[in-house]
Amino acid sequence: MPDAGIETLSEHACFGGVQGFYSHPSRTIGLPMRFGVYRPPQAARGPVPMLIWLAGLTCTEETFAIKAGAQRVAAQLGLMLVTPDTSPRNTGIAGADASWDFGTGAGFYLDATQAPWSKHFQMESWITQELPNLLAQHYGGALDRAALFGHSMGGHGALTLALRHAGLFRSVSAFAPIAAPMQCPWGVKAFTGYLGADRSTWAAHDATELIIAGGRLPPLLIDQGLADKFLAEQLHPDRFEAACRAAGQPLSLRRHAGYDHGYYFIASFIEEHLRFHAQALGVAG
């Protein structure tokens, strides 16, 4: 059973496995961090591939587990589903709870360099280093078989973390990602606050700019709803698609008429994403 200060918040039998929610004292963040883990039935027999979901603005470690309906297929395929929280909480930082698109619930999956955020907002290091090792040590996750996916802000995180940590993830996918954050209000607000006003530092956290600069991704799938109210102003998948085309980066970008930005959209296509990652992870199903 988990130790090292890990607190079990709740556990629930689910499709022959266990959906649990936990908290651990993160050395990277300097505060307790919450996360969810779905352990499929196959985890009782040994390590299983890890599929890490990065959620969007305002979400928590529970959002995907409750709304996406992913556990049934994950149980069939033997995939562990991991749902990290979207930011540190109870940081004591003035203004951390002042807006829904910056601060609490809006960590943007990067390591902040600007005070006061830099003290605790070290989401990139937590997601790519501390959390995977914890999952391998205490929950039976296979470190050498990990994949990454996410939604909106979390889609941005999935793309950029896979680009910035080549070889760490075998596949990556996203729903409605913030694909060119330097070109949208959400990204400009977050980057200014977390990274400072020098825009030259921002490109290292922008998926489109990273592709232009030579970054490459493993097998890549993106789904985008065409009735998404944030599509034109915030998401810019066309910019990312053009960068991938120019760079020769393989990309499957699927556009869906009538679908919006929410979890009804995600639930409609989540099985296809799980099977896409299972294939990359060498899982039959």
Cα–Cα distance measured from residue 231 to residue 214, given in angstroms and rounded to the nearest whole number: 26
> Beta 48-54 vs 80-84: how paired, if at all?
parallel
On the question of a cis peptide bond just before residue 116, with omega within 30 degrees of 0, the verdict is yes
261 part of the active site: yes
Cα–Cα distance measured from residue 83 to residue 95, given in angstroms and rounded to the nearest whole number: 26
- Strand runs labelled E in the chain: 7-14, 17-25, 32-39, 48-54, 80-84, 141-151, 172-175, 220-225, 252-256
Q: Are 91 and 120 in contact, with CB atoms under 8 Å apart?
A: yes
138 part of the active site: no
Report DSSP state, residue 70.
Answer: -
**φ, ψ dihedrals at 268, nearest 5°:** -70, -30
- Out of 85, 206, 223, 228, pick the active-site residue: 228
- Out of 26, 152, 171, 173, pick the active-site residue: 152
> Beta 80-84 vs 141-151: how paired, if at all?
unpaired
152 part of the active site: yes
- Out of 24, 156, 261, 277, pick the active-site residue: 261
Is residue 140 helix, strand or coil?
coil
Cα–Cα distance measured from residue 182 to residue 192, given in angstroms and rounded to the nearest whole number: 10
Cα–Cα distance measured from residue 174 to residue 151, given in angstroms and rounded to the nearest whole number: 6
User: Which positions are catalytic?
Assistant: 152, 228, 261
